Amino acid sequence: MNHKVDWKRRYLNLGQVAPVYPFGSKKPFIGKVEKVKKNMYGRISYVIDGVDVMAEELFPAQGQEKLRIRCYQGQ
């Protein structure tokens, strides 16, 4: 999955609900942003439902089915 994503841009804020498309064979999920992190090089990453997520994992791969956020209740 090679996305053209600006690593320094903040796409989500605390408390927002977002779909996550993890790399590899992990299953996509919908979760709430718990923390926004910035490393020493300015790269933004997130903690969504206890999972560290990079900006590239917020977007589906080409041809991948998109998750629908209807009424998210949380866990």
Residues of the chain with pLDDT under 50: none
pLDDT in tens, 61-72: 888 888 888 775
Interacting residues of 9 by C-beta distance below 8 A, sequence separation 6+: 44, 55
Can you tell me the distance from the alpha carbon of 67 to that of 70, in angstroms, rounded to the nearest whole number? 10
Per-residue model confidence (pLDDT) at position 3: 67
**pLDDT of 11:** 93
Predicted structure pTM score: 0.82
What's the one-letter identity of residue 37? K
